[in-house]
Structures are given as C-alpha cells and as structure tokens.
C-alpha cells in the first residue's frame, strides 16, 4: 500500500540518532515521520545507563544548545550527576550523569509524542524506494510504502546484527530486539561502502545479591559526602536541579588475580580470540578479556557498580563488558569482593553489525551515491549515545534543509565538537568504533561545555531548531554576560581609590597604576567574588543582578570569569583560525581529476581521487596527504589546473 501522505523527512530508527534527527527536522517545520521497530524502545539505552563524560558531555551540551532532547531527558532521568575534571581547566571539564533508563526513555518518548510536525509509526523498514540515483521513500516489513523527499537512516547496531556469547551466536539487533537483515541486504545491493564492527556489554546484576558493605561508595556531586554538597549539576541549558529525581550513589569493587585467572581460562572459548568475531571493537571501551590479555601485568581493574534506575534492583557493572561463555561470566563476577553471591540477570554479550564507511558521505552526511539519503549514528562507524545524538541532530537538520530546497549546514572544527566529529568521519573514516575525546579538537579552549550555547544557539535559531522559550532564555543570558563584561571593563581602580591593604588582600600586591576590573580578573588566583567585594563592595554596586537573573546568575558569572581568564589564549586561537580560514574553506573543483596533478605522489593522487574532499581543509586531514602535498595542490589550483 502507498501511504496517502507524503513526508519531507523520514527517519528510520528511534535510537539516539534517530530521535534527535526526527525532532530536529520537525522543529524546523518539516513534515517528519519516525519509523522504528518498536515504539516501546524509542530512546532506549542499549548499554550503560549513563550520558556524557569527557568529550561526550561536550557533544550533549551542543545538541542541547541547538534545541535537542538528550540533555533535558537526562535532567529528567538522571539519578547521579558528576562534573569530571572539575579541578582542571574549563575546556576539559565535562558533565556525566547516571540515568534511570525507564525515566530517560519516558522523557524522550514524551518529547517525541508532543512534537508538532512529527508522526511516529511502528514497523521494521525492509527497503528503500530509489528512483535513479535519488531516494524517494521507505518500505516497511508489511509492504507499506512511505514517500518522502529525504530519508535519514539511523539503524544503530541492527544491520545484520549478530550476538555472540562464547562460541554460540544468533541474529539480533541487540539483546531482545530483532536484527535488520532484509534492509542490510538491500543496502548491500545498492553498493554503499561498508564493513563490520563490534561492541560489547557486561552481564547485569541483581542488586539484592550484592554485598555493598564490601564495596566503596561513590556519591554523585551535590550528594552528602560528594563534591559540592547541595549543588547537583544540571545538564541542559534549559534544565534545573528541581527536575532531577532522587539521587543515588554508585559503588566500586575490583577484579583480582583470581578473576584474571578465570578470564584467561575462557580464552579458548572466546569468540574474539578464536576468530568467530570478525568486526573490530572499540579500543577505548575494551572487553574485560581484552584488558586482561593486553595489560597482562595489571593485577586489578576498578569496576563501577552503577544503578540502572530507581524502580529496579538491576546494576550495571561498568568495566566487565564480555562475550566469554556464560559459565566464565558467572565465575568471574562471583570472584570479586561484594559479588560473591551475585545473581546475573542478563548475560553479557558482543554484537557484530554492518557499518558504512563515512568517507562515502558528503559533509552534510548525505550519501555520495544516493541523493536525499542521509546516514547518522552508529551506522557511520561511531560508538556511544552522545556521538549518535549529535550526528542525528546534524543529519536531521541537513535533511530538513534539503527538503526545503536549501543548502546544507556544516559546522567548522573551531565552532563545535560536532564539526570535529563530522570532519573526522568524512575525511579519515574509521578503523574501529569512533568515540569523541577532547584531544580530537584543535581549538579546545573555545569549544567548552559551558559556552556551547554561546557558540551554537544563534545558529540553531537561524536554522529553525531553537524554539521561542529557549531563544528568550539564551538572549537574557547573553545580554547579561555582555553587560557585566562591559561593566567590569568600565570600572577603574587606581592607587588613589583602592587602599593598598585592600589591594594586597585581593590581588596579593598593591597596584601601581590604573586597571579596570576585567583586567584584574584576568590575573591568576583572582576570582569574581573577591573582586566585586573589594573595598567592602564599593565596586559591587552594579553587580549583575541576582534577582533579575535567578537561576542564570551563576552561569553568567562563570562566562564572564572564563572569558576574562582565557581571553589571551582565546584571542590567539581566533587569530589562528582566521589565518587558516581561507585555506580551510577553499572549495576544490568537483570535476578535478587528481590523477592528472603530476606534482603529487601517486599515493596522494589516489587518495584524493578516491575520497574527493570538498575543501582544501578536508583534503589536508586525509591520512597520508602531507602539508607539502597541500602546497603543491594549491599551486596547481592557482595555475588554474
Ligand atoms: P541504536 O541506539 O542502536 O538505535 C537504532 C534504532 O533503529 C533502534 O530503535 C532500532 O529498533 C531501529 N532500527 C534499526 N533498524 C531498523 C529497521 N530496519 N527498521 C526500523 N527500525 C530500525 N556505546 C558506548 O559508548 N559504550 C559502550 O560500551 C557501548 N556498548 C554497547 C554494547 C552493545 C551490546 C550495544 C548494542 C551498544 C553499545 N554501545 C556502546 C553503543 C550505543 O548503544 C550506540 O552507540 C548508540 O545506541 C547508537 O545510537 P543509534 O541511534 O545510532 O542506534
């Protein structure tokens, strides 16, 4: 049957990429359909019940700054929040939250169900409708044909998914869900470049069988005994601590020599070591057998016991992801302190699945081969909810723009981690599941969690994904930051009006000539509070108003203080970006035959011919394309070659 209505954007898959893609396209006003296997599993966390962390938290904040769902859902479902790297510089500080899976999923579903312009439909998609080199819709398992101008595919780990536990395996998309086999076969027919990857998950444990008295308690920030007691961190720029449900601690135990012996005794039945699994797994999230094998000299590993929610006893033992046979899983869990009588609720497993080489995507995430078809999430070779959500938002926006007849949006590497993620994927491809780290970004000082809204909310508003309430909140904050910065710059202190004793108390020495408060704030060890309190509050008179800003007050001061402290470095980074801007965005002719650029080595010519970068900046990041090759290419282009 041909469904009577036609859509602007169809999103296939209701995981983290799919939900953000569908919500973003619908927020833009596009008529959007989200097709997924099961409405009950929309927004499901396939693995650990946590969101954020270093690099990942940055992505979540960026998605949030553009009106996305992940941070808000985490504020509504988060049962433990922490600021990682809190003693380090603001560039690498990151929010991480433990979420109640049920509350998180419910929050996402509520947003989906209440989003204007968005239709939900439960069915497996088995086929794409393709006319010439353009996608025109999707076909479900029972033959319903949905027509659309664009399709965003976010099938996660489901394409030809195969679960392994020891030497046993079976077809599945993740435990308890069917694989997408027919769609995988159809995509193979379309000859899109692809490969196999794998990921894994630990066995889950019934908390009633854990002896917590043998484990070390780890409270979250704001909890009694935790950092910053009384102040639980908030994820979303639109969130607040009142949204959080009850907070819970995590617990820590360790593997020991006996655990390692048990694990080694299962190596001969490991699907990884016996070659049953062909896909490459995430290096930074290795299975416990991988850790024991690779770091044989370590006699213990820390294991976090993380609660899965408020209404369940289930615990997620973070650090023992495994595909070893179940008898080994059982023994290894019980060899650890506090887990001697542990009851396993679900076995751990590894899953292998098809992914598509992201070098086959344009900078908009549209496939090069099929117009109107976009890929986002784990299907592009990444791992993680946050990476998936960011890509989903991006692909949803670009599908929406194309449906509206507009050109794509492409964030730059100096604008957003999202820009780094997209650029890394399309220029370098992946050899293992890709995850975000702050070290991947060259311009870390300006790509901070705390200023994600300052970097992206205005762009989001122009693209149509930021609603009125968020826009109004953002403007209040931005105006207050700029007013306060100006006030500090315009408030002068000099040896005549600042008593020497007061100067020494706040600044550590007396001032020798006139300074404004902003300059003084730039000094190491000088904080905003001490500054505005100088001389009994004489300089505080116009301090940014606590009453007017309410919840925003601390955020505004944080922005003002960071801007002052890092202004020198940030200005230098901006200059660097400006110097490289021309070169970075220089468009390469689409028809350029690199094989004819004689000055380049054969290897470089072949790489450029294969990957066909859109800009010189992209070309420079393809592995093996050296700065010397880029100079030669520039000379060739200047000559009009
Ligand atoms: P998914 O969350 O997988 O969502 C895909 C959605 O598409 C599902 O709703 C599915 O039902 C739907 N779908 C698929 N095919 C079709 C179809 N043909 N028709 C209709 N609907 C379809 N990440 C980490 O960061 N660390 C880890 O340690 C980690 N371990 C993992 C372990 C396992 C076993 C699994 C399964 C995943 C793990 N992940 C881990 C990855 C994390 O779950 C994913 O990165 C993230 O969920 C990807 O989001 P996504 O939206 O791309 O796909």
Q: What is the DSSP string of 34-66?
A: EEES-GGGTT--SS-SEEE-TTHHHHHHHHHHT
Edge-to-edge strand list for the sheet holding 314-318:
216-218, 250-254, 302-307, 314-318, 204-206, 344-346
Question: What is the position in ligand 1's atom list of the atom closest to the CA of 351?
Answer: 34
Ligand 1 midpoint to CA 418 (Å): 19
By C-alpha distance, which of 370, 352, 353 is closest to 277?
352
Answer yes or no: do 484 and 623 share one domain. no
Question: What is the position in ligand 1's atom list of the atom closest to the CA of 376?
Answer: 52
Answer yes or no: do 209 and 262 share one domain. yes
Mean pLDDT of 396-419: 97
Cα torsion at 430, 431, 434, 436 (round to 10°)?
-90
Ligand 1 midpoint to CA 90 (Å): 31
Last residue of a domain, one of 581, 605, 632: 581
- Return the higher-pLDDT residue of 515 and 114: 114
- Average pLDDT across the chain, whole number: 93
Q: What is the pLDDT of residues 297-331, one digit of tens each?
A: 899 999 999 999 999 999 999 999 999 999 999 99
**195 pairs with which residues across the strands?**
355
Q: What is the pLDDT of residues 225-261, one digit of tens each?
A: 999 888 899 999 999 999 999 999 999 999 999 999 9
Answer yes or no: do 285 and 326 share one domain. yes
Mutating to test ligand 1, I would choose from 63, 158, 433 the residue with most ligand atoms within 8 A of its C-beta, which is 158
Q: What is the pLDDT of residues 25-64, one digit of tens each?
A: 999 999 999 999 999 999 999 999 999 999 999 999 999 9
Answer yes or no: do 570 and 590 share one domain. no
Answer yes or no: do 566 and 593 share one domain. no
Ligand 1 midpoint to CA 285 (Å): 15
Question: What is the position in ligand 1's atom list of the atom closest to the CA of 41?
Answer: 9
Cα separation, 107 vs 74, whole angstroms: 8
Answer yes or no: do 529 and 623 share one domain. no
pLDDT at 104: 98
Q: Which stretches within 511-596 are classed as H helix? A: 517-521, 528-532, 534-537, 546-549, 553-585
pLDDT at 469: 97
In this structure, is residue 155 part of a structural domain?
A: no
In this structure, is residue 569 part of a structural domain?
A: yes
Q: What is the DSSP string of 309-376?
A: -SS--EEEEET----S-HHHHHHHHHTSTT-TTPPEEE--EEEEEEEE-GGGB-TTSBBSSSBTEEE-
Instruction: Using pLDDT thresholds of 50, 70 and 90, give the confidence band for residue 285.
Output: confident
Positions at the binding site for NAD(+): 281-295
Ligand 1 midpoint to CA 5 (Å): 29
Question: What is the position in ligand 1's atom list of the atom closest to the CA of 123?
Answer: 20
Answer yes or no: do 289 and 236 share one domain. yes
Question: What is the position in ligand 1's atom list of the atom closest to the CA of 180?
Answer: 18
Ligand 1 midpoint to CA 379 (Å): 9
In this structure, is residue 510 part of a structural domain?
A: yes
pLDDT at 639: 78
Last residue of a domain, one of 326, 352, 378: 352
Answer yes or no: do 507 and 563 share one domain. yes
The residues near 551 (Cβ < 8 Å, ≥ 6 apart) are 240
Instruction: Using pLDDT thresholds of 50, 70 and 90, give the confidence band for residue 393.
Output: very high
Give the rounded distance of the alpha carbon of 424 from its chain centre: 14
Last residue of a domain, one of 308, 324, 352: 352
Answer yes or no: do 341 and 231 share one domain. yes
Could you tell me the two tokens for 296?
A: 């044989």
Positions at the binding site: 13-18, 281-295
In this structure, is residue 223 part of a structural domain?
A: yes
Which ipTM did the prediction report?
A: 0.98
Could you tell me the two tokens for 122?
A: 């439960």
**169 pairs with which residues across the strands?**
164
Q: From residue 553, give the alpha-carbon distance in Å to each of 239, 278, 440, 518, 544.
A: 14, 53, 32, 18, 8
By C-alpha distance, which of 341, 302, 296, 340 is closest to 320?
302
In this structure, is residue 80 part of a structural domain?
A: no
Ligand 1 midpoint to CA 46 (Å): 6
Q: What is the pLDDT of residues 332-351, one digit of tens each?
A: 999 999 999 999 999 999 99
Ligand 1 midpoint to CA 464 (Å): 27
Answer yes or no: do 514 and 591 share one domain. no
- Counting the structural domains of the chain, the total is 3
Phi then psi dihedrals of residue 68, to 5 deg: -70, 175
Cα separation, 606 vs 627, whole angstroms: 16
Three-state SS for 147-184 is: EEEEEEECCCCCECCEEEECCEEEECCECCECCEHHHH
Q: Kindly list the protein residues whose Cβ atom lies closer than 6 A to any atom of ligand 1.
A: 12-18, 35-37, 41, 46-48, 124-125, 154-158, 173-174, 177, 180, 183, 199-201, 285, 321, 351, 377-378, 383-385, 388
Answer yes or no: do 321 and 209 share one domain. yes
Mutating to test ligand 1, I would choose from 199, 350, 379 the residue with most ligand atoms within 8 A of its C-beta, which is 199
Residues, the chain: 641
In this structure, is residue 50 part of a structural domain?
A: no
Residue span of the structural domain in which 630 resides: 586-640
pLDDT at 233: 95
pLDDT at 577: 83
- Return the higher-pLDDT residue of 276 and 459: 459
Answer yes or no: do 238 and 285 share one domain. yes
Mutating to test ligand 1, I would choose from 37, 60, 156 the residue with most ligand atoms within 8 A of its C-beta, which is 156
Cα separation, 410 vs 420, whole angstroms: 11
Ligand 1 midpoint to CA 480 (Å): 41
In this structure, is residue 550 part of a structural domain?
A: yes
Instruction: Using pLDDT thresholds of 50, 70 and 90, give the confidence band for residue 507.
Output: confident
With H, G, I as helix, E, B as strand and everything else as coil, classify residue 475: helix
- Return the higher-pLDDT residue of 520 and 530: 520
Which residue carries 């491809």 as its tokens?
429
Find the radius of gyration of the CA atoms of the chain. 26
Q: What is the pLDDT of residues 491-505, one digit of tens each?
A: 888 888 888 888 888
By C-alpha distance, which of 212, 239, 245 is closest to 68?
239
In this structure, is residue 551 part of a structural domain?
A: yes
Which residue carries 């001969």 as its tokens?
268
Mutating to test ligand 1, I would choose from 10, 11, 12, 15 the residue with most ligand atoms within 8 A of its C-beta, which is 15
Closest residue to atom 13 of ligand 1, CA basis: 13
Q: From residue 403, give the alpha-carbon distance in Å to each of 14, 19, 125, 589.
A: 20, 18, 21, 25
């Amino acid at each position: 049957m041909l469904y009577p209505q036609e859509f602007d954007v169809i999103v296939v898959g209701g995981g983290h990429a799919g939900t953000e893609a569908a919500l973003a396209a619908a927020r833009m006003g596009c008529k959007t359909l989200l097709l997924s296997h099961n409405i009950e599993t929309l927004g499901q966390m396939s693995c650990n019940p946590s969101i954020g962390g270093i690099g990942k938290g940055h992505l979540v904040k960026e998605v949030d700054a553009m009106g996305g769902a992940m941070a808000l859902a985490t504020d509504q479902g988060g049962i433990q929040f922490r600021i990682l790297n809190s003693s380090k510089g603001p560039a690498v500080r990151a929010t991480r939250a433990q979420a109640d899976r049920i509350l998180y999923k419910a929050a996402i579903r509520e947003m989906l169900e209440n989003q204007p312009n968005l239709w939900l439909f439960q069915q497996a998609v088995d086929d794409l409708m393709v006319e010439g080199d353009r996608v025109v819709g999707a076909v479900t398992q029972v033959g319903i044909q949905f027509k659309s101008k664009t399709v965003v595919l976010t099938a996660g780990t489901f394409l030809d998914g195969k679960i392994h536990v020891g030497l046993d395996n079976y077809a599945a998309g993740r435990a308890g869900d069917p694989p997408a086999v027919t769609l995988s076969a159809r995509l193979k027919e379309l000859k899109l470049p692809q490969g196999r990857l794998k990921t894994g998950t630990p066995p889950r444990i019934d908390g009633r069988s854990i002896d917590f008295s043998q484990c070390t308690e780890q409270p979250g920030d704001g909890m009694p005994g935790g950092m910053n007691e009384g102040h639980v961190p908030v994820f979303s720029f639109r969130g607040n601590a009142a949204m959080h449900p009850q907070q819970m601690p995590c617990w820590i135990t360790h593997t020991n020599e006996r655990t390692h012996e048990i694990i080694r005794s299962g190596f001969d039945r490991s699907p990884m070591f016996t070659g049953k699994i062909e896909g490459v797994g995430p290096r930074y999230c290795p299975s416990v057998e991988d850790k024991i094998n690779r770091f044989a000299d370590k006699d213990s590993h820390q294991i976090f016991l993380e609660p899965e929610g408020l209404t369940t006893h289930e615990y997620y033992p973070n650090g023992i992801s495994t595909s070893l046979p179940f008898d080994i899983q059982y023994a290894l869990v019980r060899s650890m302190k506090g887990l001697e009588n542990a009851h396993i609720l679900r076995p751990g497993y590894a899953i292998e699945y098809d992914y598509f080489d992201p070098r086959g995507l344009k900078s908009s995430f549209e496939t090069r081969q099929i117009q109107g078809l976009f890929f986002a999430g784990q299907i592009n070779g990444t791992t993680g909810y946050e990476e998936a959500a960011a890509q989903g938002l991006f692909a949803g926006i670009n599908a929406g723009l194309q449906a509206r007849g507009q050109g794509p949006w492409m964030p730059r590497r100096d604008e957003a981690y999202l820009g780094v993620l997209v650029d890394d994927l399309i220029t370098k491809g992946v050899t293992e599941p890709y995850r975000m780290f702050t070290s991947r970004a060259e311009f870390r000082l300006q790509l901070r969690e705390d200023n994600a809204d300052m970097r992206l909310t205005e762009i989001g508003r122009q693209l149509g994904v930021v609603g009125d309430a968020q826009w109004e909140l953002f403007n209040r904050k931005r105006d207050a930051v700029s007013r306060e910065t100006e006030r500090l710059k315009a408030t002068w202190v000099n040896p005549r009006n600042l008593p020497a004793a007061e100067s020494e108390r706040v600044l550590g020495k007396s001032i020798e000539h006139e300074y404004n408060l902003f300059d003084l704030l730039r000094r190491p060890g000088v904080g905003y509070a001490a500054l505005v309190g100088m001389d009994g509050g004489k300089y505080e008179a116009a301090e940014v108003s606590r009453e007017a800003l309410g919840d925003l007050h601390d955020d505004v001061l944080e922005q003002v203080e960071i801007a002052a402290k890092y202004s020198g470095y940030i200005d230098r980074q901006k200059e660097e970006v400006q110097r490289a801007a021309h070169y970075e965005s220089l468009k390469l002719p689409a028809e350029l035959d690199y094989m004819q650029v004689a000055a380049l080595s054969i290897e470089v010519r072949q790489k450029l011919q294969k990957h066909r970068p859109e800009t010189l900046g992209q070309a420079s990041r393809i592995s093996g394309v050296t700065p010397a090759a880029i100079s030669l290419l520039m000379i060739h282009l200047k000559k009009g070659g």
